[in-house]
Amino acid sequence: MKNLIYALTMLSLFNACQNSGTHANQADQATSTDTTAVAEETPIAQTSCYIRALGQDTTWVKLTITADGSVSGTYDWVPYEKDSARGTLTGKKESDELHLMYDYMIEGSNQQQEMRMKMMGDQIAEMEGELVEGDGGVLKLKDPTKVKYLPFTKVECK
């Protein structure tokens, strides 16, 4: 009888150890699945930097584009011996075009300007043309069909 009780006790302990391992594995799997789901929901962002130099004037652009097409970044125009314009870019990527709002400070004043850029391989090109004041004082292209493209060269981000 003593042996039977001992055997049943050992069997119960062995069974309990097996079940607790199963619960731990299930908890690990649930955590792993949750982590994977969060990683899939977080848009992956790609940051690129560009420069355009015309004579002694330099313009720097830093863009971060997420998988969902959201764009953010900076645009710094630094002309030689003149006031610079530095600000932020926000907007959306649609196909190979970036539709952006440029919020910047120039000569002590805040300004907003609609800006469009085209992505071309390792370059971007800013669409430049005559600007007019639109709703809310925002500058925008008078005629987007009459623009010239100012190319920027991709550089390593600092």
More confident residue, 30 or 158: 158
Q: What is the chain's mean pLDDT, rounded?
A: 81
CB 94 within 8 A of CB 70: no
For residue 135, pLDDT over 50 is answered with yes
Are the beta carbons of 90 and 71 closer than 8 angstroms?
A: yes
pLDDT at 38 over 70: no
Q: 36 and 54 share a domain?
A: no
Kindly state whether residues 112 and 127 are assigned to the same domain. Answer: yes
Same domain, yes or no: 33 and 96:
no
CB 91 within 8 A of CB 71: yes
Q: Which domain holds residue 113?
A: 45-155
The answer to whether 96 and 124 have CB atoms below 8 angstroms apart is: no
For residues 52 and 32, membership in a common domain is answered with no
- One domain for residues 32 and 93: no
Q: How many domains does the chain have?
A: 2
How far is it, in rounded angstroms, from Cα 79 to Cα 92? 27
Q: Are residues 150 and 74 in the same domain?
A: yes
> Is residue 38 located within the same domain as residue 56?
no
Residue 4 identity: L
The phi and psi torsions of 39 (rounded to 5 degrees) equal -60, -35
pLDDT of residue 137: 92
Average pLDDT over residues 32-48: 64
Percentage of the chain lying above the pLDDT 90 cut: 59
Using the predicted structure, report yes or no on whether residue 16 has a pLDDT greater than 80.
Answer: no
What is the CATH number for 103? 2.40.128
| Inter-residue contact 100 to 90 (CB < 8 Å) | yes
Asked whether residue 74 falls in the same domain as residue 142, the answer is yes
Same domain for 70 and 114 = yes
Residue 138: per-residue pLDDT: 96
Residue scoring higher pLDDT (69 or 17): 69
- What average pLDDT does the segment 32-38 reach? 50
Q: Are residues 118 and 83 in the same domain?
A: yes
Q: Judge if 60 and 138 occupy the same domain.
A: yes
Question: Does residue 137 share a domain with residue 89?
Answer: yes
Q: Would you say residue 60 has pLDDT above 60?
A: yes
